A and B are shown apart, each in its own frame.
Chain A
């Protein structure tokens, strides 16, 4: 008999079939299999098969764009957990957040992580912008991706700002009062913008539900869409690489 080990052993044959049904290749032991892995995997397809070695040096990118995206995913997951407890009503919101912080198992760690990751993301997105500027990576053909990046920076700030109100404590309500008062100074549209944003003349239930909807649905959705386009264009335009 010249049966291969897989044919001789039905368990091994099944495992091989199972692996083959999910991954169309073996472990990446050489460049050929590694290239197939990147080509046939949905999640890895965000990358080209090969990149310039100088473009992926940690000292060149400082991982800042990647870290910003990682923090966005982490914020989405921790935010999802927070949503199980949080009810966006002025009567319950503060109690919900207090329960998360002091009662719910691991609630404090999830909330702390959401908070610190949000601050960290503002910083990493900001530094990513600085990195791209100093390396002139916004120059043709990447002009429009810089524009998308600008909007992503604004979305990041708005996401953080809208989340700031949700704990409904003294820090939240007064920071949002100060922040939205700045909108008043715009000529003509200023007071109307503020009224639209707050759903009233002061920070109350109307503002809470508006900021909540913006924070958990509208802004993440717009941000995600812009991110998809941002990454797609990075993929298509290629990495700039060493100076």
Chain B
């Protein structure tokens, strides 16, 4: 049976040309990474091709989480008590990077200026980046800047989470263990 989409009408009523086998012309062969037009792309039906993959990904994620949840209990300490302050008191891990910043910079910088700057810069990213190309070799500056930001964000979280002990002071023993003891305390 002939397919309905090829050479037929898509939901918006425009005639969809039958996908052509790509003919490698000389200019295409020399610059293989030009932004290809929609008609040049090989397409597949989303159902079941894409939906099946989504189902498998969801199933894998569910099984993974189920196994983790059977093996590892969520933390539950003693009942909240405002008169006993744990030492160190840490924010949730995704905000520990901010806490680490507060340790190094004045509060107005670390607590207000930096996070506001990051959020506003993130929102404005597509409007500030005037470069139309999506090819990595055309976007060296954007990729380097973003990678530096990502590495700093991860580094601050890792430092705050794994290298800060009592009173949020630097503490190697969290990962290396105490000198003279066989296992970390």
Interface, chain A (partner B; CB < 8 A): 28, 30-32, 34-39, 41, 44, 47-54, 56, 58, 63, 66-67, 70-71, 74, 90, 94, 97-98, 101, 108-109, 111-117, 119-120, 122, 130, 133-140, 142-144, 146-147, 150, 154, 157, 160-161, 164, 167-175, 177-179, 182-187, 190, 202-204, 238, 240-243
Contacts and interface: CB of A to CB of B under 8 A. Distances in A.
A150 B133 contact: no
Contacts of B142: 133, 136
Contacts of B20: none
27 contacts: A32-B1, A38-B46, A44-B46, A56-B44, A63-B53, A70-B61, A74-B61, A74-B62, A74-B65, A109-B69, A112-B68, A112-B69, A116-B72, A116-B74, A117-B65, A133-B146, A136-B142, A138-B125, A157-B95, A169-B77, A169-B80, A170-B77, A171-B76, A175-B90, A177-B89, A182-B102, A240-B134
A171 B77 contact: yes
A48 B11 CA distance: 9
Which A-B residue pairs are the 4 nearest by beta carbons? A185-B111, A136-B134, A143-B126, A112-B69
Nearest to A238: B38
A138 B108 contact: no
Interface in B45-99: 45-51, 53-54, 57-58, 61-62, 65-66, 68-70, 72-82, 84-86, 89-95, 98-99
B35 to A, nearest CB: 9
- Which interface residue of A50, A71, A108, A139 has the most chain B CB atoms within 10 A? A50
A37 B52 CA distance: 13
Interface residues of B, number: 80
Given A139-B129, A146-B126, A186-B112, A203 B43 contact: no
A53 B51 contact: no
A170 B86 contact: yes
A19 to B, nearest CB: 17
Interface string B1-16: 1111110001100000
B157 to A, nearest CB: 10
Contacts, number: 239
A73 to B, nearest CB: 9
A190 B61 CA distance: 39
B119 interface: yes
B5 A160 contact: no
B91 A108 contact: no
Given A94-B80, A179-B91, A56 B53 contact: yes
